[in-house]
Amino acid sequence: MARGDKNDFEKQRLDNIKRNQEALHEIGVVSQADKIFNSKPPPQPPAKKRRIKSEVEVTKPSRSSSRLASIPERPKYNEDELQKSGTDKKVPKSKARKQIASASRDDGVEADVAENEPSADLEQLRASWSSWLPEADSPTRDQHGIFHFSSHHSFRPNKSPSEMLHEGCFGGSYFRPLHSQKLRTTISDDYLELPASWTQDLDIERYLTSPIYDPDANKFKVACGQSIEQWEAAGWIEHRFDVRGWFQWYCRFFMGRRCDDDERQVSRWSKCVGPTGRWRSMLLKKYKSAGVREVFDDGADEDAPEVSPVMHQTCHHWAFEVTQEVLDEYWRTES
């Protein structure tokens, strides 16, 4: 592509983003997002020191620098390294499929592999990522902190994209320059389409575009999940809509976009952290098995027992967090 064509495309992309922002203002999504972000969260009971039943063996609290130091080498998302690793050794397709099928699945969902191949016209595909216009009303939030979407009543997260970004998610690297092996191109700066209020006072280089996954940037100070490259290799990315996957879809869904991938993504969320979702259920069971009746929070005292920071961070990545109300209800129904 000639340099002039690239400049024209970049201008068109930025114009599309500007048009989307203006449309979001017109339908009130931005003002609603500001209201949600600036509003006080539902009142929580005063923090109390957690106690575990005496018969339950309590492991030594691990929330310290020594734990972080013991974490395996943090994944690095370097385009040159990724390209090299992808070309050094060829794996037969049948073997590759077996490896993907047997790999640990951190999202807890069945293999919803996208069957549609990306468009042959890469520039047209790129343009489509920013040419959408919001068509749905802003979500509402009830007194329990749960969001409600008029188009999808079963989708009820309790974390907004803005809250997730400010609290810390995906090791601060979700919107780093991303090289897609399938599209054979690098995607960058697409975080610019987010409403300005979502990234206000946020250290972009640390919490959005860091080239290195940093557990310290996460709310619960632990590493969890798989990289976008692994999601792409497993077939979980629907390139026609969201080249970065789930969280990018959630951001756009929250802003009012609706597309043909909505049902699949809502289904994945439900299987992970919905009322009977895998990660939600496993985390609540850990609370009960440890005899803990108060929600673990990263800001708790070092002496307080930890309840799976990794599972907490995983749920956080899926826009859900166990609240005291959720935990109390679980104890009532499971006792």
Q: How far apart are CA 317 and CA 329, in angstroms?
A: 22
In a domain, 193, yes or no: yes
In a domain, 165, yes or no: yes
b/e per residue, 42-67, with b = 16+ CB within 10 A? eeeeeeeebeeeeeeeeeeeebeeee
Task: Scan for tokens 């809250």, then name that residue.
Answer: 163
In a domain, 170, yes or no: yes
Provide the whole-model pTM: 0.70
Residue ranges of the chain whose pLDDT lies below 70: 1-14, 16-21, 23-120, 297-304
| pLDDT of res. 178 | 95
In a domain, 58, yes or no: no
In a domain, 194, yes or no: yes
Structural domain tally of the chain? 1
Q: How far apart are CA 232 and CA 77, in angstroms?
A: 14
Domain that holds residue 251: 3-38+63-334
In a domain, 171, yes or no: yes
pLDDT one-digit tens code per residue, 168-185:
999 999 999 999 999 999
In a domain, 322, yes or no: yes
pLDDT one-digit tens code per residue, 222-234:
999 889 999 999 8
| pLDDT of res. 334 | 87
Q: How far apart are CA 61 and CA 40, in angstroms?
A: 30
